[in-house]
Each structure stands twice: as C-alpha cells, then as structure tokens.
Structure 1
Amino acid sequence: MLATIAYPPIPVWDVGPLKFSLHGVFAAVGFFVGFWVVARMLEKRGFDSAGFQSLAVWILLGGLLGARLLTAPAALLDGAGWAALNPVVGNYSIMGGFVGGIVVGVWRMRRLGLPLLPILDVASFGLAWGTVVGRIGDLAIVEHLGRATDAAWGYEVRPGYDLAPQHNGLECTVAEAGADGVCGIYHHVALYDMLGAGVLLLLLWLVYRRTPLRYGQMFSLWVVWYGLQRFVLDSLRFGMGDAELGGFTWNQVSALGGAAIGVALWAWFRSRRPRVSSQEDEERGAFPMATSEEDSMEDHLRPPPDAQ
C-alpha cells in the first residue's frame, strides 16, 4: 500500500471554563478573509465598499444562526424534540452558515439599497476563499473523516491520536491497533472539500476574467458547484454518524437542493439580466472606470463586441 496521510491532530484544549479549538479560529479567519476579498473586489469594480462593510455583523449573526438551524430538520427527524431548535447548543453546518449569511445579507442589502447582484457575484470569491481557509481548522483537529478506505490519500489514524470529539470511536491504543499498527484509514473529507473549493476559485477567476456573464450568474455558478461538490463528498460520510434521510445524509439532501436552486437562478439571470460591463456597473452606482486605452484593454468587464 502506498504511503497515506498521517499527522497528529491539534486537539481541543480547555482555557478556563471554555474549550478552545482551531476549528473555530480558522472559521473566524475564513469569514474575515472572505469578507476582505469581497470588499476589495467591489472597490476594483468602482463600487464604494463602505455599505457592504456595514453588513459584517449582520452576515456573521445570520451565518451563525443558519449554521445551527440547518441541522434542525435532521435532528427533529431523529427525535431530538424542541432542543433541535436551540440556536446555541448543538451541531453546526457550514452550508447552513452560508445560507444564513446570504439570506440576512440580501435582506440588509435591499434595506440599504446596495447593488445586490454585483455584490453577490463577487461574494462567490469570498465564499470560496472562506471555505479554503476555514477548512484548515478542520484539518488541524482532524474533523469530518469519512468511511474507511485503502486509498493512498486516506488519513491514517495511529494509536494515541486525539481526534475531534465526533471521531472518538475511531481512536485506539497500541494494543487495539491492527496488524499494520494503525487504528484505521479514512477518507479525509475536509481536505477534499478544501481542494474542491480551491479548484472552484480557479474556475471562478477564469470565468470572471474571460467570460462575459450576466449579473447574478457568477453567484449561481458558486451555488451549483459547491452544492454538487458537497453532495458528492458527503456520500463518503454516509454511515459515519451524520443524520440520514433515506439513503442520503441530511447534508447531501440540503446540498442537492441548493444546487437545483443554483441552476434555476442561472437560467433566470440568463434571461432577465444584462451582461456585466463597466457601463452597467456605473448604472448600479459604481464610479466611472478609467477610459484610457490601456485601462480599457485591462477592463475584464468590457465584453467583446460579438458578446454584447
């Protein structure tokens, strides 16, 4: 068997009455990195980013609430009762965080009269960056392992490794290890998700630079890709303790529903919205772009004549 991935996790540790984990640290860092990316891209498009930056607390609160509540339907089906609706105690979902943050963000943008679709389009980059950075914390504490595998890219659990609490059952002592001296090898789903988000970032950048889409379609592309990505990857976690609905995990059901919504949004924006351009941005509140020949050539928002 080829060498597998193996490294000791950085465990959760106690700081007074609190439990401290790199999972939460990198989730927060990912949020702020993604937020900074969106603000910077809006400024490059000629938009005043101050209005968007005022949404930070709203989006953060919406994300935290959504991350908690998206797990509620599955918990209710498992008989958890009203405790499943507790907004603080329980499991959290990264997809729920995205949904909650987006819904609250859209509501506030409409209230403030901000350019909704241009912001959502560049937000696709922030969401992808947030995923890449946030997953570093999952890798650090070794969370979201999938089923057993003999693939070379599997994560090898060795005796004495202190995994994330959800994987306590996968830990073992030297005496309990198999003939090969390891506790088991499992799909490193968080790593796959981070790599997939990295590929998505590259795709988004290529499309953003080279393909004249219509307003809203960049955001739709992120929704479709990440929904399908999570649907595929979470199949590797089926039977690992995640809430299930029929032959799928609850995350798979949510992800596939999100991807379907993304396809519908793509088609809607394709038929109802103009192509992205500097001129259209200016009509939505952006400052006029430079008109020198050099700047015009570099302006990726000006589609070729045959695409207009």
Structure 2
Amino acid sequence: MQTMILANIPSPPQGVWYLGPIPIRAYALCIMTGIALAMWIGIRRYEARGGNPDTVWDAAVVAIPAGIVGGRLYHVITDYDKYFGPGKNPWQAFNISGGGLGIWGAVMLGALAIWLLMRHKGLPLAPLTDALAPGVILAQAVGRLGNWFNQELYGAPTDLPWALDLYYRVDEAGNYAPLTGRSTGEVIASVHPTFLYELVWNVLIFALLIWADRRFRLGHGRVTWLYVAGYTFGRFFIELMRTDEANLILGLRVNTWVSAILFILAVVMVLRSKPGRETPEEVDPGYSQGREAAKHEN
C-alpha cells in the first residue's frame, strides 16, 4: 500500500485574472476581504462597548484611504531604491496594484485619521481602537494571502515539508512577469513561507486579544497596545527570516528595528494604561442616553 505525501506548498499559478480588459488582482481581493471582516468585527465590538456603529463606518471612510496612502508611502520610503535612481521609473511609486504596502505606514496614518475624526466628534479614541484591534490583525492575516498570490515576502531556501515553491511566471509574450504573469510550472526556488508564518501568528494574536478582552475586561487602550505588542513580537522574528530585498540599518532590516521599537513602546503602554473598561456613558454619552431612552419607551 503506497502513501502519497504532499511535498511543499505550491504557489498559485497566477495572481491576476482578466475580465475582458479589467484586471482582477488577488492581492486587492484579499485586502478588501480583510477590510470587510475587520468592519464586521469592529462594529459588533464597538456597539457592545456602548458606541454608535455609525462611528465605525465614519472611521472606515477616513482610515481606509489614509491607510492605503500611508502604507504606500512607508513602502516607497523604505524601498526607495526600487523607484528612484539610474534606470528606475519614479512613476512606479504610484503603482499600488503592483504590490507594496507597508503595514506600519497603513496603521500609523490610518490611526491618525481616526484620531482626528474622534476629536472632531468629541469622543474618546481608546474604546474605538480597542474595538477595532482584533479585527485589524485578523484582516492582516487575510491580507497575507495576497503575498502568497504575488510570490513575495518569503524567506531563505529550505527543504522542510512546508517549503513554498516559487514558480517562474511569464506574460503572453513570454517575458518574465512575477506579479502579472502565469506559471510555466518551473520551480525556481523552495523557500520558507514567511507570509504564512505571519498569517498564523496574526490569527493567534487575534484569539489572544479576544480571550484577554473577555477575561479581564480590558479598556482604555489596553487591547490596542496588546495588539501592537503581540504583532511586533512575532514580526521581529519573522523579519529575521526574510531574504527578499530590503534596506538595512546596522545590518538589520528596517522593519526589524521598527518592530523592536514599537514592541518596547507597546509593552510600556500596556503596563501604564488604566485598568478596567470604559462605561457606555464614557464611550459615547449621546448614543448611550438614546438607547436608554428607547428602552424606557418600549
């Protein structure tokens, strides 16, 4: 009796499909799916804390475009040599569909946009970010599937059973096209699937945040900072495994330094944050009073 064992993880044969002249990109679909999932979770969690679900929609309106711009800016700044210099095309810096969104820039500029929105509304920021944090890291996990379709964010060659096979891809003219082409079936490398490691880690942190929030009734930004600490802890070690091109500072990737700095900051903030959770009146006084009035009327 023979037993067949699956050897290695295959990459998708392509990451782009065409509906007539319209490109359908797996990378974009993964990001949009992640956003929808984060919104669904965030709305439920914010309303459970006493907040108006409409506030989550307002936050999405400002945070999503800000996050895309911030993510692209971070990528272009940290990988500037891909777009600027002899033989480079600076206009490619605006080609978001070609891949390249830095999560740090997306979170930072997106968070800034939400902070400005909440200041405008006169509402506290922490309850909203605490409600959104678990959904955000789950969305990051879904987004990492886009890296699988793009054959990017991988580690060193390996012969482990879960190695990722990278395929040689070509366009219709037979030219090498790693992002937009279709696989020829030729395996050009078998590498550590660091995108998968991060995906699994993000799902674990999602579960940790949900459990800790329910068990200890976290509030006042603690869920947010626990998210930052958990994510950056794993990202630090995953960055050490990656071998794709990146700018270095003192021999380490830029993202490795950013992960370490943000981890330390997040741990300090978790320890310094006020214990307990905000009351519904603290989260959104107007919405809370409206709900109470509606209960009495019924």
* Structure 2 Cα separation of the partners of residues 284 and 212 of structure 1: 14
Q: Deviations over 1:33-65 (max 9, x none)?
A: 212211111112232111231122210111011
Which of 35, 45, 66 is the matching residue for 1:62? 66
Residue in structure 1 matched with residue 228 of structure 2 by the alignment: 223
Which of 167, 170, 193 is the matching residue for 1:188? 193
Residue in structure 2 matched with residue 125 of structure 1 by the alignment: 134
User: Share of identical aligned residues, percent?
Assistant: 25
Alignment of 1:64-79 (within 5 A): 64-76=68-80
Which amino acid in the other structure matches residue 221 of structure 1?
A: L
- Is the 8 Å Cα contact of residues 144 and 199 (structure 2) preserved in structure 1? yes
Which amino acid in the other structure matches residue 239 of structure 2?
A: D
- TM-superposed CA distance for 1:12, in Å, is 2.3
* Structure 1 residues 85 and 40: alpha-carbon distance in aligned structure 2, compared to 1, 3 A threshold: farther
Which range moved further: 29-38 or 240-249?
A: 240-249
Residue in structure 1 matched with residue 242 of structure 2 by the alignment: 237
- Is the 8 Å Cα contact of residues 141 and 164 (structure 1) preserved in structure 2? no
Which of 97, 105, 113 is the matching residue for 2:106? 97
Which amino acid in the other structure matches residue 280 of structure 2?
A: D
1:54 aligned counterpart, secondary structure: helix
- Structure with larger RCO (C-alpha < 8 A, sep 6+): 2
* Structure 2 Cα separation of the partners of residues 111 and 84 of structure 1: 36
Which of 118, 124, 147 is the matching residue for 1:138? 147
- TM-superposed CA distance for 1:14, in Å, is 4.9
- Is the 8 Å Cα contact of residues 11 and 164 (structure 1) preserved in structure 2? no
1:20 aligned counterpart, secondary structure: strand
* Structure 1 residues 197 and 127: alpha-carbon distance in aligned structure 2, compared to 1, 3 A threshold: same
- Is the 8 Å Cα contact of residues 151 and 179 (structure 2) preserved in structure 1? no
TM-score (norm 2): 0.78
Residue in structure 2 matched with residue 27 of structure 1 by the alignment: 31
2:192 aligned counterpart, secondary structure: strand
Residue 251 of structure 1 pairs with residue 255 of structure 2: yes
Residue in structure 1 matched with residue 119 of structure 2 by the alignment: 110
Which range moved further: 151-160 or 114-123?
A: 151-160
- Is the 8 Å Cα contact of residues 143 and 167 (structure 1) preserved in structure 2? no
TM-score (norm 1): 0.76
1:150 aligned counterpart, secondary structure: coil
Q: How many residues align?
A: 274
* Structure 1 Cα separation of the partners of residues 138 and 217 of structure 2: 22
Residue 11 of structure 1 pairs with residue 12 of structure 2: no
Which amino acid in the other structure matches residue 137 of structure 1?
A: G
